[in-house]
């Protein structure tokens, strides 16, 4: 009886010792830090490795991961400055650098950073127009990281990077943009067609003008050549009627041949005395001269 009671006490003492040692000796894994409270108040931060606590007075209140934490920021609708609706989401890489601020500075630092990124992203994109927002990922990312850096430090965090995963117009905006693009293409096609017609009209007018100039120059040159020919013939013939009659007769006969070859000509009337006719013409020319 006495031995059984002594054995029970010994076992109880042994269990108490084991529990006490378990509570007093803690092994912290690499990549973690533990926050210890003593009697409900912050006492110390346990680093990776072997750590000794005072059992029953100290307790591990929080276990934090000090490796990079990936926070996925959910997709949200954002209204730009020109009242366009776009969809955007992001992903953030943060690291706990001060465990005490991380657990006592904010209730849930992961949710706090996520909400901070969402609100800041809405604010930044809201200051931009649609085209600028869709083409300025790097600018948005830089401003976003800069805007949340100070708040993150107050919560014991370091924002290593913030990446814009996707930024695109909403479905209704995409349809509107497609219609706008189609209208713009039609407008450009109409402008191109009008410009082509204008250039064609200009070229046609220039061609007519050039043709008229060339015709006028040709007529002037022909008239000058005819005048020169008459002067030379007149200088060569002088007062003699014979050569003049020969030339006029040759022209006259050529004209009659052309008239006879015409399909519409039926009867060709020739003078009875060709020589007298030519002499009369020469006389008239001499009288005019």
State yes or no: pLDDT of 272 exceeds 60. Answer: no
State yes or no: pLDDT of 93 exceeds 70. Answer: yes
Domain that holds residue 184: 170-221
> Do 74 and 152 reside in the same domain of the chain?
yes
- The answer to whether position 77 is within a domain reads yes
- The answer to whether position 271 is within a domain reads no
- The CATH number of whichever domain residue 148 belongs to comes to 3.30.479.30
Q: What mean pLDDT is predicted for residues 58-80? A: 90
Q: CA 32, 117, 136 angle in degrees (round to 5)?
A: 125
Which pTM does this prediction carry? 0.56
Q: What is the pLDDT of residue 283?
A: 55
> Do 124 and 53 reside in the same domain of the chain?
no
**Last residue in a domain, options 63, 80, 102:** 63
Confidence grade of residue 288 (pLDDT, cut at 50, 70, 90):
very low
- The answer to whether position 214 is within a domain reads yes
Q: What is the pLDDT of residue 203?
A: 87
> Do 129 and 94 reside in the same domain of the chain?
yes
Q: What mean pLDDT is predicted for residues 236-250? A: 61
Q: What mean pLDDT is predicted for residues 115-139? A: 88
* More confident site: 96 or 239: 96
Contacts of 43 (CB under 8 A, 6+ apart): 36, 37, 58
Confidence grade of residue 100 (pLDDT, cut at 50, 70, 90):
very high
Distance of CA 27 to the CA centre of its chain: 57
**Last residue in a domain, options 13, 46, 63:** 63
Q: What is the pLDDT of residue 243?
A: 60
Lowest mean pLDDT among 126-130, 165-169, 217-221, 279-283: 279-283
Place of tokens 């959910």: 74
* More confident site: 242 or 221: 221
Tokens coding 4: 């059984």
Helix (H) and strand (E) counts in the chain: 8, 8
What 3-state class would DSSP assign to 127?
coil
> Do 136 and 175 reside in the same domain of the chain?
no
> Do 110 and 33 reside in the same domain of the chain?
no
What 3-state class would DSSP assign to 92?
strand
State the chain's mean pLDDT as an integer. Answer: 81
State yes or no: pLDDT of 29 exceeds 70. Answer: yes
**Last residue in a domain, options 221, 241, 256:** 221
> Do 140 and 46 reside in the same domain of the chain?
no
Q: What mean pLDDT is predicted for residues 238-255? A: 63
| Total domains, the chain | 3
- The answer to whether position 199 is within a domain reads yes
Report whether 33 contacts 64 (CB < 8 A): yes
94/60 Cα distance (integer angstroms) = 23
Q: Maximum Cα–Cα distance for the chain, whole Å?
A: 184
Residues 262-271 have pLDDT tens digits of 666 555 555 5
Q: What mean pLDDT is predicted for residues 114-129? A: 90
Q: What is the pLDDT of residue 96?
A: 92
19/157 Cα distance (integer angstroms) = 35
**Residue percentage of the chain with pLDDT more than 70:** 79
Report whether 51 contacts 88 (CB < 8 A): no
β-pair partners for 73: 90
Torsion of the alpha carbons at 241, 242, 247 and 251, rounded to the nearest 10: 90
- The answer to whether position 227 is within a domain reads no
- The answer to whether position 231 is within a domain reads no
């Amino acid at each position: 009886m006495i031995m059984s009671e002594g054995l029970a006490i010994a076992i109880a003492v042994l269990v108490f010792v084991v529990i006490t040692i378990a509570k007093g000796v803690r092994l912290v894994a690499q990549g973690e830090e533990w926050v210890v409270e003593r009697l409900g108040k912050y006492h110390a931060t346990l680093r990776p490795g072997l750590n000794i606590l005072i059992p029953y007075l100290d307790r591990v209140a929080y276990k934090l991961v000090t490796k990079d934490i990936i926070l996925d920021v959910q997709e949200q609708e954002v209204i730009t400055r020109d009242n366009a609706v776009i969809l955007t989401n992001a992903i953030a890489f943060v690291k706990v650098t001060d465990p005490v601020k991380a657990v006592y500075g904010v209730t849930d630092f992961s949710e706090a950073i996520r909400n901070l990124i969402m609100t800041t992203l809405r604010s930044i994109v809201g200051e931009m127009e649609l085209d600028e927002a869709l083409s300025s990922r790097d600018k948005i990312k830089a401003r976003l990281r800069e805007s949340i850096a100070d708040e993150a430090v107050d919560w014991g965090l370091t924002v290593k990077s913030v990446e814009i995963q996707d930024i695109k117009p909403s479905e209704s905006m995409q349809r509107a943009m497609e219609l706008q693009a189609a209208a713009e293409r039609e407008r450009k096609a109409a402008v191109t067609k009008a410009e082509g017609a204008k250039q064609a009209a200009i070229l046609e007018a220039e061609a007519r003008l050039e043709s008229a100039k060339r015709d006028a120059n040709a007529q002037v040159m022909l008239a000058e050549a005819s005048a020169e020919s008459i002067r030379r013939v007149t200088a060569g013939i002088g007062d003699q009627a014979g050569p003049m009659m020969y030339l006029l007769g040759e022209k006259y006969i050529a004209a009659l041949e052309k008239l006879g070859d015409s399909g519409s000509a039926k009867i060709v009337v020739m003078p009875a005395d060709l020589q007298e006719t030519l002499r009369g013409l020469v006389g008239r020319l001499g009288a005019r001269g």
